[in-house]
Structure 1
Amino acid sequence: MGALREWGAQVWAISPPGAYSPRFPEHGIEFVPLSLDRKTFHPLRAWATVHRLRSILRALRPDVLHTFTLRPNVYGALAGWLAGVPAIVSTVTGLGTLYTRHDVRTRVLRWGVEQVTRLALRAADAVIFQNPEDQHYYLSRKLCRPEQARRIAGTGIDVRAFSPDRFSPDERRRLRRERGLPPETVVVTMIARLIAPKGVREFLQAAERLNGKARFVLIGEPDPGNLDSLTWEEIQAYVRRGLILAPGWQSEVIPWLAITDVFVLPSYREGTPVTVLEAMAMGLPVVATDVPGCREAVVAGETGFLVPPRDVDELVRAIQKLVEDPALRRRMGQAGRARAVQRFAIERITAQYLDLYAELLRRHAG
């Protein structure tokens, strides 16, 4: 959005209101609130959301509408088409809980959602995917057309802000001391929404198994809007036993990454995991799962390890290998930093988005 402003564009952010809402005007971006029901795909509520969004878009009259995640992609494409928005871009940020659960109810819901998605995305000029597996799935199910599909690896990270060079050894020791972490302790950190598909329970079990060999830190908070969310009571049971440190949601994660030795994300599926890329940019080795998204970020054996999802034994083995080998941590961390800079720096990613917008605007102008 900042790059678009520098480009000379008028930018609006349409979203449910939240903690970040007041920050948009600080950057010259007008915030427009839109309520959104995340728990159901009830047809009447969904259609009401589409009509509210259509009214907003008719009033704003944007040249480009860019949506992210499943519901906004469906609602946005339909509303944008009804409002006559010239160019519509939809980004698939991952397939999410609807594709990590396989009970009968979820399969039926998935079938219904895909019917609506297939219809809505007919209106999109471009559908962006963050990994090849998601793109292949959409194309194989005919949820979008081959000429719509584009690949952009995430939304980018600021490799200057996320840099190991920002902190001296003395600063790292101070940060550890403030958080009650001894300087010699190996710190293993996970940052995520506290929902089951992120692999939070597997992380907690690994912390229990490796108790005494490393200190585990879990950063994030439950997501009440998600059916698979853990509760604070479940997390606090591990905190009370001294197995993890759980500071909750953090507005600034860089200091936490600065005191981390190993980063872990045992997710069941991702688009492009931003937290993994941020950890790599900070020079940390990563243990992630061998699933879409994670294997786009982590090079197994070079920048970290990839383990099977839901496999606590393999997760523990990979973490323990890094905990016990400082030279391996250093070597993998350096390789991860280089990969983050070369492939995922925000300047590279933003340029790809701006090029796409310019291409679509030229097409519609012609």
Structure 2
Amino acid sequence: MPKAILKLYLILKRERFDIVQYSTTNAVFYAATASWLACIPVRLYAQWGIRYVVFSGLVKIIFKQIERWCCRCSTVIEPDSMGNLEFSIREGLYPRDKGRVIWNGSACGINIERFDISQKDIWRTEYREKIGCDVHHLVVGFVGSIRADKGCNELIAACRSFFSNMPMARLLLIGDKVFYSTIDKDLRDWVESSDQVIHVPPNDQIPQYMACMDVFALPSYREGFGMVIIEAEAMGVSVVASNVPGPADAIRHEVTGLMVPVRDAVALAEALQVLLRDPAKRTAYGVAAAAFARDSFEQKKFLQYVLADKEQLIAEEEFQINHAGKHV
């Protein structure tokens, strides 16, 4: 038994918690196993993404079995999107009565006070100046780790394919380059040499930078939910995202943005051009996006649902204990 599992088991056995919640691949494996061994009454797996979908061959088989084991050890599973709930059920990871989504999904909801659309015009002017853009530039934005499984190969290839015909277009990449080597070398070379690509390191001014964008793109291969989509929508930015579980729940196709097939740079380029060449459509999508984010994912309301969910889980467990006691 790995030392981490043993240590967790001893802590959980001693403290006798009513609920243990866990998420992310490594932590889930250790915590789910230790909680199961310690007989914790409510073992809550916050399924914020499914890792094995980006793998192939033997690695995919192994990671799928790990996912299946973690689900089996858990008493309740709460993916952060309906798409991942339905995917998990189809994959046989757990039965329908074991999984549920809180409210409309997401892991934490959107902080409307931070992503304050009333400040958009002010931030747009200030931060466009910071990145060397003016009112005439058309900015495609991305926020996240710049890596292959976030769809960055497709995004960069898509932009490269038409930017030469759109000299005022800019690609704004905000994020770390820890896995930058997973980007094709010819695309990295273009990013480094093109004056149409802007890179900004990770920072805490994401709402301000999103205000600069005309279109936000997340062509990811997998996401638990795709919270950055909701953040962009909260700032009134039209979006383009891949049609995979998670992001598909964070967008309303042809209402707040456009969905495209995953790993399809050609379709992505077409969708980006549709929005960049049609300011009226971008504006309409942006207005609908801001309302969608506010009405469906506002953080304070989301947290009320989270609290109610925890109270329900505890009440259900207490009922089972009391009911079992009457039949002893």
TM-score range, shorter chain: 0.7 to 0.9
2:98 is equivalent to residue 145 of structure 1: no
What are the equivalent positions in structure 2 for 1:48-127 lying under 5 Å apart?
Answer: 48-58=3-13, 61-96=16-51, 98-102=52-56, 104=57, 108-127=58-77
What is the CA–CA distance in structure 2 between the aligned matches of 1:293 and 1:89, rounded to whole Å? Answer: 19
Matched with 1:302 is 255
2:158 is equivalent to residue 203 of structure 1: no
Given that 2:136 and 2:168 are in contact with CA atoms closer than 8 Å, whether structure 1 keeps it comes out as no
Given that 1:125 and 1:360 are in contact with CA atoms closer than 8 Å, whether structure 2 keeps it comes out as no
Matched with 2:325 is none
Unaligned runs of 5+ in 2: 320-328
Given that 1:130 and 1:154 are in contact with CA atoms closer than 8 Å, whether structure 2 keeps it comes out as yes
Given that 2:173 and 2:198 are in contact with CA atoms closer than 8 Å, whether structure 1 keeps it comes out as yes
Larger deviation: 207-216 or 333-342? 207-216
Instruction: Please give the per-residue CA displacement for 1:124-156, whole angstroms capped at 9, x wherever unaligned.
Output: 221012333422333344322332111131121
2:194 is equivalent to residue 194 of structure 1: no
2:123 is equivalent to residue 174 of structure 1: no
2:234 is equivalent to residue 286 of structure 1: no
What are the equivalent positions in structure 2 for 1:258-277 lying under 5 Å apart?
Answer: 258-277=211-230
Give the number of the structure whose residues are more often helix, by fraction: 2
What's the % identity of the aligned pairs?
26
Unaligned runs of 5+ in 1: 1-43
Cα 1:141–1:312, aligned 2, differ >3 Å: closer, same or farther?
Answer: closer
What is the CA–CA distance in structure 2 between the aligned matches of 1:134 and 1:167, rounded to whole Å? Answer: 32
Matched with 1:356 is 309
What is the CA–CA distance in structure 2 between the aligned matches of 1:235 and 1:248, rounded to whole Å? Answer: 16
Cα RMSD of the aligned pairs, angstroms, is 2.5
What is the CA–CA distance in structure 1 between the aligned matches of 2:82 and 2:175, rounded to whole Å? Answer: 28
**Distance apart, 1:285 and its partner CA:** 0.3
2:82 is equivalent to residue 132 of structure 1: yes
What are the equivalent positions in structure 2 for 1:247-262 lying under 5 Å apart?
Answer: 247-262=200-215
Given that 2:124 and 2:209 are in contact with CA atoms closer than 8 Å, whether structure 1 keeps it comes out as no
What is the CA–CA distance in structure 1 between the aligned matches of 2:184 and 2:268, rounded to whole Å? Answer: 23
Q: TM-score, normalised by structure 1?
A: 0.78
Instruction: Please give the per-residue CA displacement for 1:188-230, whole angstroms capped at 9, x wherever unaligned.
Output: 1001222211110111112222322411101111345x9x844
Q: TM-score, normalised by structure 2?
A: 0.86
Aligned length: 313
Higher relative contact order (CA 8 A, sep 6+): 2
